Structure 1
């Protein structure tokens, strides 16, 4: 089963977290995940993916303008309806707006007919209600949460589509 993790990254920090999620998903039996920049991706892979996760750096307490435009213009071409979707964010400061950016992404995914998931509190700790947020200065501490998120998303995709 295929998964696509799309991201917009300026400093490389959001790219790093996307790759953590992809690697974690690849460690799950039956999953093949690839991380793609929104400017360099495999559209055929995305169309074949049953799980699509989208990540953004946070600017002015929301997602990047580049990602918002991509969500509105490009993402719908991947036939997202009925697929499993998720979101993540990276930020420079604690309480920088990561959750707000994730909500905007999830709203787009829901409007495209996707099923959104994170595991919430049902999977125990760490509780990931909307999607993981990594704060730059604590990136190494956040890495494990992103790995767990990838595992949870892979497990749910396999439950739904295998």
Structure 2
């Protein structure tokens, strides 16, 4: 089963966390996950993916403008309806709006007809209520949470859609 992790990254932090999610996804038997920057998406792979996760740095307590533009203008051509969706963010500060950026992406995904998921508290620790957020000055600290999130998303996609 194909799973796509999309991201916009200016500094490389969001890209690094996307790769952690892909690592977690690929640890699940039957999952084939790949990460793509929004400016270099493998369109066929994305269309064939059962799960799509989108990541953004948080700017001014919101998603990056590039992510908002992609959601508003490009995302409609990929047949996202019915796919499993998730979101993640990076931020410079704990209270920098990463959770709001994640929530904004999830709202857009629901409007596109996606099924959104994070695992919430159902998997136990680490609790990931909406989607993981990493703080840029200590990315290594957050990497295990992002890998766990990837594992959870891939497991749910396989449960919902089969191999």
- What is the TM-score normalised by the length of structure 2? 0.98
Alignment of 1:1-162 (within 5 A): 1-162=1-162
CA shift, 1:23, in A, is 1.5
For residue 21 of structure 2, give the secondary structure of its aligned residue in structure 1: helix
Q: Distance in 2 between matches of 1:160 and 1:97?
A: 31
CA RMSD of aligned residues (A): 0.6
Q: Where does structure 1 differ by over 3 angstroms across 4 or more consecutive aligned residues?
A: none
Q: Please, which runs of 5 or more residues in structure 1 have no aligned partner?
A: none
- What is the TM-score normalised by the length of structure 1? 0.99
Q: Distance in 1 between matches of 2:27 and 2:132?
A: 19
Q: Distance in 2 between matches of 1:76 and 1:53?
A: 15
Query: How many residue pairs were aligned?
Result: 162
